[in-house]
Amino acid sequence: MDITAARRREKRKQRPISAALALLALLALLALLAPLSAPAAEGATAYAEHCASCHGAERLGGMGPALLPGNLKRLKRDEAAAVIRRGRAASQMPGFGEMLDDARVAALVEFIYTPLDYTPEWSAEHIRATRRIINDASELVTAPAYGADPLNLFVVVELGDHHATILDGDRFEPIHRMKTHFALHGGPKFSPDGRFVYFASRDGWISKFDLWGLEYVAEVRAGINTRNLAVSGDGRVVAVANYLPHTLVLLDARDLSLREVIPVTDGAGRTSRVSAVYGAPPRHSFVAALKDIPEIWELPVDGDGGSGPVTPRRIVLDDYLDDFFFTPDYRHVMGAARNARNGQVVDLKRGVKVSDLGLDGLPHLGSGITWTLDGRRVMATPHLRKGEVTVIDTATWETVGTIETQGPGFFMRSHENSPYAWVDVFFGPHRDAVHVIDKQTLEIVETLRPAPGKTAAHVEFDRDGRHALLSIWDPAGAVVVYDARTLEEVKRLPMNKPSGKYNVYNKITLSEGTSH
Ligand code: DHE
């Protein structure tokens, strides 16, 4: 190893772990860097003041994405300035227009498009060094440590203080609450038998939790900025999609030990962030969409293989995919780029694009659901930029219905046993509203406002579809339990900014009404 690399490595090892300390260190460093030009210094100072707490002191990402030229390739500078001024729809990014004048915004843009003076690295070696066995497999309990139905538990992520609550899905009583890593994002994923749940945090930590013994099993940091994780259909492999570095990471699901780091590259020097990765159980594979290379990758890691290096199957597309959805048979991927005018359908068997989709409102396809309407299988998705839900026939790919809502929505849910689909109005003045839609008439039959003025979002049903649980996204928030037939409130459980709720049974049976 050369001395510079060793020094860099040492420097990285010494990185302060707390954002506050890192911020102080950065400010001190700025004071010493006399040669910085005035605008560059101004940008760095503005960054330390306003951005570092979410995007990381070194711009490597945290709650927010990494702000490095490579990650901003698809964002023009004037668009970046607009995001700084006005915030970003469909994310936690607020606007700073009232705090920063035009010169400071310009300096900030300059700063975030300036390359780092080192290449952030998160190699196999770094990953291995972070792995920690918290409870050895031999010490885990042999039966659930409580009386509740282990398959009707809900895992509720509470973003307010970075905790998760395990909820008895019959009595709606919390049975356990534990600390999580900072800023979990994406759906936690379950082992196929529902015993274990895996969490991913935005800053790359993957944790495995035993839902019988109610204790963590292991954890590992698989990336610097992570999108999500997936578990293979046979439960043996965990795949992690990273923004930074540009990798897919495969872990052994038993103890989170590293199996493989797969660099995401087109083979011609271009690398890419991974938009998301999902398990495709009937295909015995993982499927990943890429953000900077217009390709879908399929990783055949299921079955008893997967112990050797994985060769991704690459499907070349004519546009990027930021978000996607599988048809129930996992034959087709319905995907869209955030800035696209249309979505696209890819046939995974043939490896080709087969249709365009009429989706132009920034669809949040990851939260789409399906049901049967007039004998045909339809999928429905809310949009992050438009107050409507689009309903698409999954045989013809035609839009069969558009339901106008009171504003753009984030999450949509239903259940095989429920006649209704629920969609939130996450953005705008009606963000406290949730619509209940009749799945056959496509009419809104009820608009609920469980806590006027507070964001109401993300529904999940219990295992038999009799109750629907809804989050009030507020530090003094709650999970509100509704009778899914009468739409009457049954119970309200105080929680600290609860975000997603995940029912074990619905997830492991791949219910048509929830995300997988
Ligand atoms: Fe999410 C799931 C992408 C912003 C809360 N979000 C997902 C998934 C993707 C995604 C690809 C599916 C992963 C999975 O289930 O494995 N989210 C994005 C974005 O690109 C976006 C718009 C910008 C970003 O900042 O990354 C974004 N998401 C947010 C938020 O601002 C939310 C509301 C708050 C937060 O936690 O940051 C948010 N996203 C969620 C939740 C899920 C999710 C709760 C899981 C939904 C589920 O039920 O499965």
- Token pair recorded at residue 353: 């694009």
Mutate to test the pocket of ligand 1, among 74, 91, 296 (most ligand atoms within 8 A of CB): 91
Lowest mean per-residue pLDDT among 45-49, 201-205, 228-232: 201-205
Mean pLDDT, the chain, whole residue set: 89
Give residue 241 CA to ligand 1 midpoint distance, Å. Answer: 13
CB half-sphere exposure, 72, CA atoms < 13 A? 22
Give residue 500 CA to ligand 1 midpoint distance, Å. Answer: 9
Q: Is the pLDDT of residue 13 over 70?
A: no
Query: What mean pLDDT comes out for the span 171-182?
Result: 95
In short, whether 187's Cβ falls inside 6 Å of ligand 1 is yes
Alpha carbon nearest to ligand 1 atom 4, residue: 91
Residue with tokens 């797969």: 262
Alpha carbon nearest to ligand 1 atom 10, residue: 186
Q: Is the pLDDT of residue 504 over 90?
A: yes
- Distance, in Å, from the CA atom of 219 to the CA atom of 258, rounded to the nearest integer, reads 11
DSSP for 70-110, please give it: GGGTTS-HHHHHHHHHH--TTSS----TTTS-HHHHHHHHH
User: Do 466 and 475 meet the contact criterion of CB atoms below 8 Å apart?
Assistant: no
- Token pair recorded at residue 52: 């570092």
Residue with the larger pLDDT of the pair 6 and 462? 462
Give residue 71 CA to ligand 1 midpoint distance, Å. Answer: 18
In short, whether 500's Cβ falls inside 6 Å of ligand 1 is yes
Give residue 438 CA to ligand 1 midpoint distance, Å. Answer: 26
Quote the DSSP letter at residue 498.
E
pLDDT band for 329, please (50, 70, 90 cuts). very high
- Token pair recorded at residue 511: 């219910």
Alpha carbon nearest to ligand 1 atom 9, residue: 186
Q: Which helix (H) or strand (E) holds 489?
A: strand 489-495
In short, whether 152's Cβ falls inside 6 Å of ligand 1 is no
The amino acid occupying position 346 is V
Radius of gyration of the chain (CA): 23
In short, whether 276's Cβ falls inside 6 Å of ligand 1 is yes
Quote the DSSP letter at residue 138.
G
Ligand 1: which atom is nearest the Cα of residue 384?
A: 22
In short, whether 190's Cβ falls inside 6 Å of ligand 1 is no
Give residue 324 CA to ligand 1 midpoint distance, Å. Answer: 12
Ligand 1: which atom is nearest the Cα of residue 276?
A: 11
- What local confidence, expressed as pLDDT, does residue 274 receive? 96
- Distance, in Å, from the CA atom of 39 to the CA atom of 260, rounded to the nearest integer, reads 42
Other CB atoms within 10 A of residue 424 CB: 30
Alpha carbon nearest to ligand 1 atom 29, residue: 91
Alpha carbon nearest to ligand 1 atom 42, residue: 186
- Token pair recorded at residue 59: 């711009």
In short, whether 92's Cβ falls inside 6 Å of ligand 1 is yes
In short, whether 94's Cβ falls inside 6 Å of ligand 1 is no
Residue with the larger pLDDT of the pair 361 and 289? 289
Ligand 1: which atom is nearest the Cα of residue 159?
A: 36
DSSP for 218-245, please give it: EEEE--SEEEEEEE-TTS-EEEEEEEES
C-alpha dist (Å) from residue 442 to 384, 389, 404 = 20, 10, 10
- Token pair recorded at residue 206: 């993957």
The string of pLDDT tens digits covering residues 56-107 is 898 987 777 778 876 676 678 998 999 999 997 767 889 999 999 999 999 9
User: Do 264 and 250 meet the contact criterion of CB atoms below 8 Å apart?
Assistant: no
Lowest mean per-residue pLDDT among 204-213, 263-272, 307-316, 336-345: 336-345
Q: Which helix (H) or strand (E) holds 289?
A: strand 285-290
- What local confidence, expressed as pLDDT, does residue 68 receive? 82
Ligand 1: which atom is nearest the Cα of residue 278?
A: 16
- What local confidence, expressed as pLDDT, does residue 129 receive? 96
Q: What's the predicted TM-score (pTM) here?
A: 0.86
Residue with the larger pLDDT of the pair 21 and 37? 37
In short, whether 90's Cβ falls inside 6 Å of ligand 1 is yes
User: Do 416 and 511 meet the contact criterion of CB atoms below 8 Å apart?
Assistant: yes
- What local confidence, expressed as pLDDT, does residue 6 receive? 37
* Alpha-carbon dihedral 287, 291, 296, 297, rounded to 10 degrees: -60
